[in-house]
Chains A and B, each alone.
Chain A
Amino acid sequence: MNAQALLEIADDELILGWRNSEWTGIAPFLEEDVAFSSIAQNEIGHARALYELAARERGTTPDELAFDRPPDEYRCSRLVELRLVPDWARTIARHVLYEQADEQRVRELMVSDDADVAGLAAKIDREEAYHRMHAQMWHERLKDEPRYVEALQELRPLVDERGERGLELEELWEEMTMVRRSVAGATW
């Protein structure tokens, strides 16, 4: 399994986790706020573990991979870049679409020749099973809402779009690396 492919998944999980963590404190209601924040943390945790594997190959560290690449080197999909707060319909639509696409990808990793990758993928899959349940639960409740149906239609084409990095990612990157860049090389 090459580092580039790992980076693609890691970047997706990182950026999606970042976007999902933007709901912490302002989600539609308190219980969901707590639950959704765990999902965001899991995603960043997955990213970290994946970066760990990729970092070994490249002789670097997970934080350096997460923060110190320029925006155009991230390999995430257009879908995860979008800033969707405070639109819950689109947030859930993205959650549902992403989990569907990701399930397939993770299953492929689980049968990788690389034992470390396969092992990590199995762990990720066990956590993602809960995410899929959560997405399904919300989908059931929202599927008759016009704004949700619209959101699914709008976002579906973006799942596999991995071309140019958008402005959204650049803005995210600026904010994400702000403190880190403020004192170059410092330990935080």
Chain B
Amino acid sequence: MGTAHAARAGGVIYEVFRLERKGQPFQHAGSIEAPDDAFAEWYAREQYGRRGESVALWVVPRHEIVEIDEFIDELERNYHRVDGYPLKEKLKEARERAGTARDR
């Protein structure tokens, strides 16, 4: 979620997530810089809602967000994924045995 600057002279960076309409997921919209939460609320409302383009916003200090971007699957576990189940050949065999095979 953005580069971490060791010595950042400035306010706090807040990430803003917006809900376009009910039923949709909150989506990341951008970031703003503000002195504190009160200002951040104001600025987020203005930058991401002044046109009535969002029905709700989540405003979170960037440093509160934990990003995970490494996922381990060394042994390629496909037993719990759809791609672990190629059924074409088995289905063909089963249809032939039952005499229900057709040109497909």
A-B interaction: yes
> Interface extent on A, as a size class?
10 to 19
Give Cα A34–Cα B49 distance, bound, in whole angstroms.
12
Give Cα A31–Cα B35 distance, bound, in whole angstroms.
11
Contacts of A38 in B (CB 8 A): 46, 50
Chain B residues numbered 47-90 whose CB sits less than 8 Å from any CB in chain A: 47, 50
Given contacts A134-B42, A137-B38, contact A31 B33 (CB under 8 A): yes
B interface size (C-beta, 8 A): 11
- Point out the residue from B33, B35, B43 that lies within 8 Å of A35, measured CB to CB: B43
Per-residue CB contact flags for chain A residues 99-136 toward chain B (1 = under 8 Å, else 0) read 00000000000000000000000000000000001100
Chain A residues numbered 19-65 whose CB sits less than 8 Å from any CB in chain B: 29, 31-32, 34-35, 38
**Residues of A that sit less than 8 Å from B by CB:** 29, 31-32, 34-35, 38, 133-134, 137, 141
A-B pairs, top 7 by smallest CB distance, nearest first, are A31-B43, A35-B46, A34-B46, A137-B38, A31-B32, A35-B42, A38-B46
Extra 20 A-B pairs, beta carbons < 8 Å, given A31-B34, A133-B42:
A29-B33, A31-B32, A31-B33, A31-B39, A31-B43, A31-B46, A31-B47, A32-B43, A34-B43, A34-B46, A34-B47, A35-B42, A35-B43, A35-B46, A38-B46, A38-B50, A134-B42, A137-B38, A137-B39, A137-B42
